Every structure is written in structure tokens, then in C-alpha cells.
Amino acid sequence: MPSRPKKPCSVPGCPNLTQGRYCEQHQYKEQQSKAERHRYYDEHIRDQKAREFYHSKEWQRVRQAALMRDNYLCQDCLEEKRITPADVVDHIKPVRWFWHLRLELSNTRSLCHAHHNKKTAEDKKKYGEGRVKNFL
């Protein structure tokens, strides 16, 4: 199967060609951009209670246990007979609506980013986008 042709690096004036967005010399820019997006979301979009929860040691322990239980693989991809590393631990029943289940290992699944985004969209349709009064 032929590979895709290389394209110019996204940094203005860079003469290097690459398969992705940035060449090897500028790969760090992709990580910087991702970190800035996460920081912006944390500071301006996510509410304070959820922010504190996702930075807590308790959540980090549950998250690590879920990843280990699922062998660091996306569970939805496995159902589709594909092997993809998991980079997100998702709450099966969303924290926003089921705060009492936030630290239950049985309420977590390891997912890749694509499947997590798909599930989040389904949750928004199912539960709506507004916050529940008792969440805050």
C-alpha cells in the first residue's frame, strides 16, 4: 500500500517535509499546542469542583487502576477487533450527573481520544449539556 506524500511542515518558512503536521525539528510545537488547549479548558471552561477532582490524588489512583485493569488499551477499539492505546479514562455514568460514582472503578473505562469524544457527544444528547444543581 503506497504511503501518503509528504507535505511541508506547518511552521512558516520551514523547508522540511513531513507525514504529519510538523517535521521532527518542530514536533515540540504540537505538544505545546495541546498543553495550551488543556490549560485553557481547565481554567475557563471546566468548573472548579470538577477541576479539583480531576487533579486529586484519589482520581489519579483510580485512573491508573483503570488503565492497568484494561491493559492500557481502548475498550471500544477492542470490541471492534482493533488494538489502540488508551489515553483517556472515561466515566461510564458521567461525573456531572452521578457525582457519587466518581471514584468507583466499576464506573470507568479506558478509551482512545476518538471513542471518548464520541461517548461525550452521546452523553450530551442523553443528559443534556446543562449542569445539575446538586453537582455544584
10 domain residue, yes or no: no
Task: Report how far residue 114's alpha carbon sits from residue 93's, in angstroms, rounded to the nearest whole number.
Answer: 18
On the question of pLDDT at 112 being above 80, the answer is yes
pLDDT tens-digit series, residues 25-77: 888 888 787 777 777 766 666 677 878 898 899 999 999 999 999 999 999 99
Model-wide pTM > 0.75: no
5 domain residue, yes or no: no
Structural domain that includes position 39: 18-48
Say yes or no: 73 and 111 in one domain: yes
Say yes or no: 127 and 78 in one domain: yes
Mean pLDDT throughout 1-15?
Answer: 84
Residue 88's pLDDT is 94
Task: Report how far residue 85's alpha carbon sits from residue 73's, in angstroms, rounded to the nearest whole number.
Answer: 5
Task: Report how far residue 117's alpha carbon sits from residue 123's, in angstroms, rounded to the nearest whole number.
Answer: 10
Say yes or no: 29 and 67 in one domain: no
Task: Report how far residue 19's alpha carbon sits from residue 7's, in angstroms, rounded to the nearest whole number.
Answer: 6
Contact between 16 and 105 under an 8 Å Cβ cutoff? The reply is no
Q: How many domains does the chain have?
A: 2
Neighbours of 52 (CB within 10 A): 11
Task: Report how far residue 32's alpha carbon sits from residue 30's, in angstroms, rounded to the nearest whole number.
Answer: 5
Say yes or no: 70 and 33 in one domain: no
